[in-house]
Amino acid sequence: MGKIRIIYATKTGHSKKIAEAMGKALYVKAENVSTRPVLEDVDLLFIVGGIYGGESLPLLLNFVKALDRGKVKRAVLVTSCATKKHRQDSVRKLLQQKGIEVLDEIICPGSFLFIRFGHPNKRDIEEAVNFALRIAGKERERVE
Ligand SMILES: Cc1cc2nc3c(=O)[nH]c(=O)nc-3n(C[C@H](O)[C@H](O)[C@H](O)COP(=O)(O)O)c2cc1C
C-alpha cells in the first residue's frame, strides 16, 4: 500500500484547515512545512499551499527545493487562492526538475480582503477532501 503524506504552508490559516480536513479523511497527519517534516519513502505527497502575489510562500519553495530526489515518487497540489486562476506553478516546476511526477492540482477558493469572502467554506473543504480521497484511493490500488 502506498505511503501518503500531507504537508502545508500557510499565511492566513486556510491551507492548514484544508490539509487537516484531508488528513482526517485519509488518516494521515497534516504537517506544517515550518516544522521541517522529514520525508522518506513517500509514494504520494499532497502539497497544500496558498498564493501570494502570484507565488507560493518562500518557505514552501525552499522545502520543495530541498526534497530528496527518490524519497518522494508522486505529488498532488492543492492550491488555495482568491482568483482561482493562480496555481502552484513554481512548486510544480521544482518537483518536475527533481523527477517527481505531479499527478493533479485542485484549486480551492480562499478569501483575500473582500475577494471570495467566506472561503474556503464547508463545501470547498468537502471538495478538497473528496479530491484527496479519490487520488488516495487510486494510489492504494496501485501495484508496483
Ligand atoms: C498578501 C497576500 C497576497 C495574495 N495574493 C494573491 C494572488 O496573487 N493571487 C490569488 O489568487 N490570491 C492571492 N491571495 C489570496 C490567498 O491566496 C488566499 O487567501 C489563500 O487562501 C491563502 O492561503 P493561506 O490562508 O493558507 O495562507 C493573497 C493573499 C494575501 C494575504
Among 81, 83, 106, 114, which residue has the most ligand 1 atoms within 8 Å of its CB, making it the best to mutate? 81
CA distances from 58 to 62, 98, 128 (A): 6, 18, 23
Q: Quick check: bond before 109 cis, omega within 30? A: no
Ligand 1 pocket check for 26: Cβ under 6 Å: no
Helix (H, G, I), strand (E, B) or coil at 119: coil
Ligand 1 pocket check for 134: Cβ under 6 Å: no
Instruction: Look at the chain and report how many structural domains it folds into.
Output: 1
Q: What's the pTM value of the predicted model, to 2 decimals?
A: 0.97
pLDDT in tens, the chain (144 residues): 579 999 999 999 999 999 999 999 999 999 999 999 999 999 999 999 999 999 999 999 999 999 988 999 999 999 999 998 999 999 999 999 999 999 999 999 999 988 889 999 999 999 999 999 999 999 888 866
Domain containing 70 — which CATH number? 3.40.50.360
Residue for grid cell 522545502 = 63
Helix (H, G, I), strand (E, B) or coil at 27: coil
Ligand 1 pocket check for 5: Cβ under 6 Å: no
Ligand 1 atom at minimum distance from 12 CA: 25
Residue for grid cell 530528496 = 68
Distance CA 64, CA 55 (A): 14
Domain hosting 18: range is: 4-141
pLDDT of residue 116: 87
pLDDT of residue 1: 57
